[in-house]
Structure 1
């Protein structure tokens, strides 16, 4: 089997699995100095956009296309390419379609979507100026598009709102939820969906601490919260999006309200995927390859599920024990180091909390 991968930045996460399955790998990348270009069987440097990858796919007569894109802006072009290539050439593209990307790439449209399908989300309003604010402080101010905490402010006073509007003409204003931050991956392909275990990302803060600076754990264990509710709600969202690939969803749980709130959903690989893999043994990026190969199976995933305790810790530059080859595989490791130098993180797993604490002490 021959698969075209689009984008090299995440390719080292799956290279070991591609080789294990004996798949011929073709990769397109727009940056000739990008990382991981030495790993696939063939590499083609193409202009930005999806026309280059499409032409390579046709020229190389690939069996499927797997975009490995972890940022939002290219996703709509990927979705349009998917619909064209699948309809005209019959080549499966394992990615979200146009409707799903349009609903999830804009936070305002996502809010409207939640309301339409009956999923609870924090009270919000669209502000065209500070004088329109009716919600009580504190509030969260966001732009419709953006990821990774970009252009987000926790406003505690009207002065904060005025400051925000010095840079923006409009804002999505949302009630600040004091509680637990939760992330969950849902895998979907050809009408089948499975919600993996939820991950705990820490408590909300008025300072707006970035998720990369928090210690995260799996599975999510928050007093008063039923993880089955998180999985059921995430499944409902994914099924109504009716698309393929990875859905990563962020929720907040308010103990005060005893309410789970949906925050946003992304149709791309996400930052908690290592924790999910460590916790349950299912690697979402590898599952994209199974989808491409026609081997994605809910029964198979159920049979392979593990029940581990895991944690992810920011370490800056890792200086602990060496990782076994392949370094990105939890099949041969009880920990994985990931992230760029200076911002590295260690994700570790164990069969019990006590064993996990011992492992973390050894690694850090």
Structure 2
């Protein structure tokens, strides 16, 4: 079995799994100085875009293609390549299709999609000037495209709104929901979908604290919230997107209104994947490989499920005990260190809250 992986930044997260399966790995990357280029069996440096990876896939006669792209802009090119390669050459590409990417990469289109399928989302309006504001302050101002908190502002006053419009001509304006931030991964392939346990990402703040600066925990345990509702809603969204790969969804839960609100969807690997793996034993990146080799099934996911307590803590630079090989896997570890120097995080798991607390004390 030979698989082409597109992009090297995330490849070390699953290199151990690829080798354990006896898969021949081919990787394309546009940056000759990128990390992890020493890990695959073959590496091809190609121009940006999807034409290079497509040509390598055909030249190498690969059995499947797994894009490992963690940013939004290239996703539509990946989606178009997927449709062409699957139709013309019969090579499966484990990624979202054009319709799913178009609906999820633009926050305004995502809002319309939620309304269409009957999923509750915060009240919103498209704002072309501060004078048009109809929602009560505070509000959240966003651009249609962007990720990782980019171009998002919590506006507490009309002056904050006016300040935002010094940089932008238009904004997606949402009501500010006070409550719990929740993420959940859904895996989907060939019409099969499974929602993994929800992750608690902290509370919303008027300061707009970046997610990387928050401590996260799994499974989500928020008073008043039924995790089955989160999983059912996430499953409904993924089912209606009708595509393949990883779907990471963000929700807000308002205790005041006892209401779950859908915020956005990402059709790519995401930042909570370590915490999800620690919590339930299912590694979403490894499942992309399983989709590629025909070993993905709901029964297999069910057999893998574990029930752990986990947490993810920002540490800056990690100086604790060394992890066992493979260091990016929970197979032989109860913790994983990830992220670049200066911005590292530790994700740890244990059988109980008490054991998790002791482990965190040892690691930090």
Q: Secondary structure at the match of 2:240?
A: helix
Match of 1:239 in 2: 239
2-side partners of 1:28 and 1:129: how far apart? Answer: 44
Q: Secondary structure at the match of 2:333?
A: coil
Count of equivalent residues = 364
Does 2:307 align with 1:307? yes
Q: Secondary structure at the match of 1:285?
A: helix
Match of 2:328 in 1: 328
Match of 2:30 in 1: 30
Q: 1:238-274, CA deviations, whole angstroms, 9 ceiling, x for partnerless residues?
A: 0000000000000000000000000000000000000
Match of 1:81 in 2: 81
Q: Secondary structure at the match of 1:274?
A: helix
Does 2:184 align with 1:184? yes
Match of 1:270 in 2: 270
CA apart distance, 1:106: 0.1
Q: Secondary structure at the match of 2:83?
A: helix
2-side partners of 1:318 and 1:156: how far apart? Answer: 36
Query: Which residues of structure 2 form unaligned runs of 5+?
Result: none
Q: Secondary structure at the match of 2:224?
A: coil
Match of 1:56 in 2: 56
2-side partners of 1:300 and 1:108: how far apart? Answer: 36
Q: TM-score with structure 1 length normalisation?
A: 1.00
Q: How does 1:221-236 map to 2 (within 5 A)?
A: 221-236=221-236
Q: 1:270-320, CA deviations, whole angstroms, 9 ceiling, x for partnerless residues?
A: 000000000000000000000000110100100110000000000000000
2-side partners of 1:153 and 1:310: how far apart? Answer: 30
Match of 1:260 in 2: 260
Match of 2:132 in 1: 132
CA apart distance, 1:202: 0.1
1-side partners of 2:43 and 2:260: how far apart? Answer: 44
Q: 1:213-259, CA deviations, whole angstroms, 9 ceiling, x for partnerless residues?
A: 00000000000000000000000000000000000000000000000
2-side partners of 1:316 and 1:146: how far apart? Answer: 25
CA apart distance, 1:76: 0.0
Match of 1:3 in 2: 3
Q: TM-score with structure 2 length normalisation?
A: 1.00
Q: Secondary structure at the match of 1:79?
A: helix
Match of 2:159 in 1: 159
Does 2:316 align with 1:341? no
1-side partners of 2:24 and 2:71: how far apart? Answer: 25
Q: Secondary structure at the match of 2:340?
A: coil
Q: How does 1:284-299 map to 2 (within 5 A)?
A: 284-299=284-299
2-side partners of 1:160 and 1:297: how far apart? Answer: 49
1-side partners of 2:329 and 2:132: how far apart? Answer: 51
Does 2:148 align with 1:148? yes
Q: 1:174-208, CA deviations, whole angstroms, 9 ceiling, x for partnerless residues?
A: 00000000000000000000000000000000000
CA apart distance, 1:95: 0.1
Q: How does 1:107-118 map to 2 (within 5 A)?
A: 107-118=107-118
Calculate the aligned-residue CA RMSD, in Å: 0.2
2-side partners of 1:67 and 1:13: how far apart? Answer: 13
1-side partners of 2:326 and 2:156: how far apart? Answer: 47
1-side partners of 2:134 and 2:59: how far apart? Answer: 57
- Runs of 4+ aligned structure 1 residues displaced above 6 Å come to none
